[in-house]
Every structure is written in structure tokens, then in C-alpha cells.
Structure 1
Amino acid sequence: MHSIKTYSGDFRAPDARFAIVAGRFNSFIVESLIGGAVDALTRHGVAADQLTLVHVPGAFEIPLAVQRLAASERYDGIIAVGAVIRGSTPHFDYVAGECVGGLSKVALDQGLPVGFGVLTVDTIEQAIERAGTKAGNKGAEAALSVLEMVSLLRVMQA
């Protein structure tokens, strides 16, 4: 029987450097996402001096800041956090779509893990649920995804 070469990451990257890019719009939600991301990383051995926090006006501006940070080659992974809450106009669709597309493009173009912790929800209640209450903390989940991907990419390079 043939053995299959298998790669997988874990949640250890003790020397890795991470950036968190946070949109200030809906800051009462975003602060919880930042806290979740920082908590998840530090609980997995990432020291505070390995983290950089960058604030941008809103979700639309997140991809540009992530792109600049990725191009600097100072970070092993970047976590994007923000909150886009649907209103009565199509503004939500444009902002959410551009944010998702921009972050995906940066990750692929730069070959760098980019975590998506940007809430795209219909109501403030849904945002609160995803920022640390009933539905967990999407900032923490995005940070853990990035941590695992950093580890995986390192294993794949070896």
C-alpha cells in the first residue's frame, strides 16, 4: 500500500509576527473582535511584541492597509477585523464585496495568510453574537486560522 504524504499545520509559530488591521467603523463591535484575535494569539504563545495593530477608517480601507503590510514582508500573517452591518441601501453589498475580494487578492498575490474576521451581518444583534457572545468571536477564529496557515506553510516549505 502506498503512503500518502500529508501536510497539516498546528497552532504553534512561536517566532512569527502578526498584524491585525481593524476598521474603526462600528468600533463598539470591532474592539471585541480585536480583543478576541489578540487573546487567541497570545494564548497560543505569540508574545505581545510580535503583534502590530493598525486602525483604518472602515472595512473598505482594510485591504489597502493589509496589502501594504504584506508587501513590507515584516509579517507572517495578517488578521483583518471589522463590521459591516446591512442598512437600507446597497452600500453594504459594495463595501462587503470589495473588502472580501481585496483581502483574497492580497493573500493570493503575496502568498501570505490573511484571516477574514470582518463581520458582514444584517443586524447589530447578529454582530454582537459574532463578536464574543452566542456565536463565538470571529476575530479569534480568524486569528487561529492565520496561525494554523502560517504553521502549515512552514511545514510545506520544509
Structure 2
Amino acid sequence: MQGADKGQAGRLDGHDLRVGIVQARFNDELTSRLAEVCIAELEKLGVVRKHIQHVTVPGALEVAVALQAMADSERFDALVALGCIIRGETYHFELVANESGAGVTRVSLDHHVPIANAILTVENLAQAEARIEEKGRDAARVAVEMANLLDDLL
């Protein structure tokens, strides 16, 4: 029961963690800022920079494949998915948003590794810009908290 109590407190100590980040380059100006905020927060939480592996892929649909490769390596305590999907005039937005989200979730469940999903799905550029700081920080915090919780539970 002791481990469950620690998990409830949301332990945000990243000192012994290894974190993998997959960033979609589509909407690169936005996703690069998201990555910068996330990495800065991971370091603030104690994750050593050399224990953060940051890779990029073309777009949100490719994020899950890179996450799967990282999960297969068993070198990471947590993973982070970063991207930005902005609604356009076609159904493509729904397809990319739904499939990227499903892919991220599947990798997490199949590999028993926590993945903080910070692939933004927004209506416009202004909404994306308004969410970058908060979602970048949140992704780092979720990754660290969930890695510690799973460590306590397993």
C-alpha cells in the first residue's frame, strides 16, 4: 500500500529517469517550441539532459512508429509525443488527429510504458500558440509522474 500512496502524491522527481521525446516536424515552429519547453521542464524536474533522447519525424502520423521503436529498445522510463495538428478545410484533420492519438495510446498499452501525449489538436494557429507553454510543461510533468507511478506499482 505504501507504493500506491506515493503514486497518489504525484511524485515529480526525474533524477533517475530516461525519457524519449518524439517531435513531429509538421508545423515545426510550433512543435520546436513545444519541445524546448518540455525539455526545460524535464531538466527542472531533475532529468539529466544526457538521459533525454529527442528525435523528430515528418508529421503526427509518424510519431507512433518512432515511439514504438523507443519502447522496443526498453531504454526509456517514459516517452513524450509532441506535434500540432491544425484544422483545415478537409476531413484530413480528423483522420490525422484520431489515428495519431490511437497510435500513441496503442504503443503505451502494448509496451507498458507511459507516454505523455502532447500532440495538439486545434482549430487555428492562435489556439496552438496559446497552448505551447502549458502543454510542453504538462507533457514533461506527466511523463515523470507516470514513470514514477509505474515504478511504484510494478
With the length of structure 2 as denominator, give the TM-score of the two structures.
Answer: 0.93
Structure-to-structure mapping, 1:32-43, within 5 angstroms: 32-43=33-44
Superposed CA deviations along residues 33-87 of structure 1, whole A, max 9, x for unmatched, are: 1011101100011111000011000001000110111011011111010000000
State the partner residue of 1:127. 128
Deviation at 1:7, TM superposition (A): 4.8
State the partner residue of 1:56. 57
| Bigger Rg, structure 1 or 2 | 1
- Higher normalized helix content (fraction of residues): 2
Deviation at 1:6, TM superposition (A): 3.5
Deviation at 1:13, TM superposition (A): 3.2
Contact 2:14 2:42 (C-alpha < 8 Å) held by counterparts: no
Query: Once superposed, which parts of structure 1, at least 4 consecutive aligned residues long, lie more than 3 Å away?
Result: none
Structure-to-structure mapping, 1:6-85, within 5 angstroms: 6-8=5-7, 9-85=10-86
2:144 aligned residue (137, 144, 147): 147
Superposed CA deviations along residues 95-124 of structure 1, whole A, max 9, x for unmatched, are: 010110000000000000001111000000
CA distance in 2, matches of 1:16, 1:105: 22
Q: Does 1:87 align with 2:84?
A: no
With the length of structure 1 as denominator, give the TM-score of the two structures.
Answer: 0.91
Contact 1:18 1:76 (C-alpha < 8 Å) held by counterparts: yes
Q: Does 1:156 align with 2:153?
A: yes
Q: Secondary structure at the match of 2:81?
A: strand
State the partner residue of 1:108. 109
Q: CA RMSD in A?
A: 1.1
- Identity, % of aligned positions: 37
Contact 2:60 2:85 (C-alpha < 8 Å) held by counterparts: yes
CA distance in 1, matches of 2:101, 2:140: 16
Structure 1 gap ranges (5+): none
Structure 2 gap ranges (5+): none
CA distance in 1, matches of 2:114, 2:94: 24
